[in-house]
């Protein structure tokens, strides 16, 4: 059980980093032409669903990781709309 | 418990669609300059971790959704390397 939790929190930590390279790249290059807006709209909607699921299952791995990814997704939606 | 499972499987279904708009866009436009390769390398590694976590918790929502996202991530890595 301890190993499972360590793996879950590690996976959650890595999940929070997933969109970070895209946020940094788009921020630096000020270009998002090739990036899909729908990917991040679906992701943001989906994070809200996962947060609800995590709350109902009382699973903090799911709640916390998806809250961070939600913030990243909203940032990418902003950058995509700004830089096209 | 039934509602929780419906929400979980719905969230999982939406998760499997997350990278699809990016795959379609890159496939059609044959350009991936603005797309971060690291985002998909991190995502693919992370899906493997989540599949392991799902197996240990015997949670098929987590196992199945992450298996599909892993396939999408590997597809995007291929498209990114092909179209730069």
Confidence of residue A12 (pLDDT cuts 50, 70, 90): confident
Q: Are A32 and B31 in contact (CB under 8 A)?
A: no
Residue B37 Cα, gap to closest chain A Cα (Å): 8
The pLDDT assigned to B1 comes to: 66
pLDDT in tens, A22-50: 999 999 999 999 999 999 999 999 999 99
The 8-class DSSP code of residue A63 comes to: H
pLDDT in tens, B36-58: 999 999 999 999 999 999 999 99
Average pLDDT over residues B68-79: 97
Through-space distance between the first and last CA atoms of chain A, rounded to whole angstroms: 46
Q: How far is it, in rounded angstroms, from Cα A65 to Cα A83?
A: 27
The pLDDT assigned to B61 comes to: 80
Chain B hits for A60, Cβ within 8 Å:
none
Rg (CA), chain B: 14
Tell me what ipTM this predicted complex has: 0.88
Q: How far is it, in rounded angstroms, from Cα B43 to Cα A18?
A: 6
| Burial (Cβ within 10 Å: 0-12, 13-18, ≥19) of residue B6 | exposed
Q: How far is it, in rounded angstroms, from Cα A71 to Cα A24?
A: 14
The pLDDT assigned to A19 comes to: 96
Contact B21 A14 (CB under 8 A): no
Structural domains in chain B plus CATH codes: 2-83 (1.20.1280.290)
Average pLDDT over residues B22-42: 96
Compare all CA atoms of chain A with the CA of B30 and give the residue at the minimum distance: A34
Q: B9 versus A1: which is more confidently predicted?
A: B9
Confidence of residue A82 (pLDDT cuts 50, 70, 90): very high
């Amino acid at each position: 059980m301890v190993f499972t939790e360590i793996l879950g929190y590690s996976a959650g930590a890595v999940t929070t980093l997933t969109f970070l390279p895209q946020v940094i790249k788009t921020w630096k290059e000020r270009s998002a032409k090739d990036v899909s807006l729908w990917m991040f709209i679906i992701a943001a909607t989906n994070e809200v669903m996962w947060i609800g699921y995590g709350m109902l299952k009382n699973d903090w791995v799911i709640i916390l990781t998806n809250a961070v990814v939600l913030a990243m997704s909203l940032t990418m939606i902003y950058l995509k709309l700004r830089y096209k």
